[in-house]
Structure 1
Amino acid sequence: MKKNVYMTGYLPLFSIILFSSGFAIYFERLLIDKLRYFGVYQGMRELFPDHVIHLSVGFCLFLLFFMGFAALKLLSDTLTHLSLFFFSRDSEGTLIQQGKNGGWFFFAGGMLSIILNHSILLLCMVFGVASLVYFFYFLLKIGSSLSTAGIMGMVFMHLFFWTGFSLLVVYTVMRLYNAFVAAIT
Structure 2
Amino acid sequence: MKKNVYITGYLPLFSIILFSSAFAIHIERLLIVKLKYFGVYQGMREMFSTQTIHLSAGFCLFLLFFMSLAALKLLSDSVMQLGLFFFSSDTEGETLRKTRQGGWIFFVGAMIAVVLNFSFAVILSVFAVSAIVYFFYFLLKASAHMGTVNLIGMVFLQLFFWAAFGLVTAYTVIRLYNALMAGIAS
- TM-score normalized with structure 1 length: 0.98
The CA deviation string for residues 80-107 of structure 1, in whole angstroms up to 9 with x for no partner, is 1100000012111111111110000100
- Residue in 1 that maps onto 2:74: 74
- After TM superposition, give the deviation of residue 2 of structure 1 in Å: 2.3
- Residue in 2 that maps onto 1:5: 5
- Residue in 2 that maps onto 1:183: 183
- Residue in 1 that maps onto 2:130: 130
SS in structure 2 opposite 1:174? helix
* Amino acid corresponding to residue 117 of structure 1 in structure 2: N
- Residue in 2 that maps onto 1:114: 114
CA–CA distance in structure 2, aligned partners of residues 141 and 13 of structure 1: 22
CA–CA distance in structure 2, aligned partners of residues 177 and 26 of structure 1: 23
CA–CA distance in structure 1, aligned partners of residues 105 and 92 of structure 2: 25
CA–CA distance in structure 1, aligned partners of residues 3 and 136 of structure 2: 24
CA–CA distance in structure 2, aligned partners of residues 115 and 168 of structure 1: 32
* Amino acid corresponding to residue 50 of structure 2 in structure 1: D
- Residue in 2 that maps onto 1:158: 158
Q: Which runs of 5+ in 2 are unaligned?
A: none
CA–CA distance in structure 1, aligned partners of residues 100 and 138 of structure 2: 8
CA–CA distance in structure 2, aligned partners of residues 61 and 33 of structure 1: 15
- After TM superposition, give the deviation of residue 142 of structure 1 in Å: 1.6
- Residue in 2 that maps onto 1:21: 21
SS in structure 2 opposite 1:99? helix
- After TM superposition, give the deviation of residue 76 of structure 1 in Å: 0.3
- Residue in 1 that maps onto 2:40: 40
- Residue in 2 that maps onto 1:141: 141
* Amino acid corresponding to residue 32 of structure 1 in structure 2: I
SS in structure 1 opposite 2:35? helix
CA–CA distance in structure 2, aligned partners of residues 118 and 174 of structure 1: 27
Identity fraction in percent? 62
Give the number of equivalent residue pairs.
185
- TM-score normalized with structure 2 length: 0.98
CA–CA distance in structure 2, aligned partners of residues 79 and 44 of structure 1: 44
